[in-house]
Amino acid sequence: MSKAISYSRYSTHKKCGLKYKFAYIDKIEVDRGEPGPALVRGNRLHDNAEEYMLGKIAQLDPELEFYAQWLHGLRENYTCHPELKWGITEDWEHCGFDHPNAWLRGIFDLLIDPPEEGEQLEIMEYKTGKIYPEHKSQRNMYALAGLLLYPKSPSVKVTTVYFDKKKHHSDTWTQEDLEKSLKPEWKSNAMMMSLDATYIPNPSYSCRWCEFSRNNGGPCQF
């Protein structure tokens, strides 16, 4: 099984070292029960947007009506790649998502090819629910992957689209940012995760939703 760092793996480690240990080091299996309504709804809207952009369905879910004209314009006027999987080796080379040498990996909800060679690349990530500042870290990671995948694009704009809030947050990085900030940052992030031997817990209000918490029948005692 690949130990490649995904955004979810990284964000889990950053939020709570002990939860990361339970999930990814000890690989403790827990009974998560039936997914909650928020997760079911989020997956439904995500899948609906993907199928629409692939041309498998003609209409979006009514809850996505606000985005219908925008997504239709993208689908009709640009080369779009929904659910594009990627992997990156430690030598900053692209590889398959499940490749044994994958070191970082992820899935773009939507990648839009630059209209012409030498123009900006765009990547979209869909979210339901609240807006969280830490989503910027995901945009940062996806910018790294996008610039490596499209070395002839001078820049990449990564946008988090918040379906429920009808808002979006975007950041732009250039090819120069690869060496100046993106590569060093993710090398540092990966090193911090690989060298962690303490897995410090971080008890908080969020523990009530953690599948490893004592109240949910898990092994955590904090």
Range of the domain at 165: 7-216
**Residues facing residue 5 across a β-bridge:** 104
pLDDT of residue 1: 36
pLDDT of residue 88: 97
pLDDT tens-digit map of 121-171: 999 999 999 999 999 999 999 999 999 999 999 999 999 999 999 999 999
The mean pLDDT of 28-49, rounded to a whole number, is 88
The mean pLDDT of 25-50, rounded to a whole number, is 89
DSSP letter at 119 equals S
2, part of any domain: no
The mean pLDDT of 27-31, rounded to a whole number, is 83
The total number of structural domains in the chain stands at 1
The CATH number for 32's domain is 3.90.320
Whether the pLDDT of residue 75 is over 80: the answer is: yes
1, part of any domain: no
Do residues 182 and 140 touch, judged by C-beta distance below 8 A? yes
Do residues 211 and 218 touch, judged by C-beta distance below 8 A? yes
Residue of 76, 67, 90, 47 whose CA lies nearest to 159: 67
pLDDT of residue 209: 86
109, part of any domain: yes
The mean pLDDT of 203-209, rounded to a whole number, is 89
Specify the pTM: 0.93
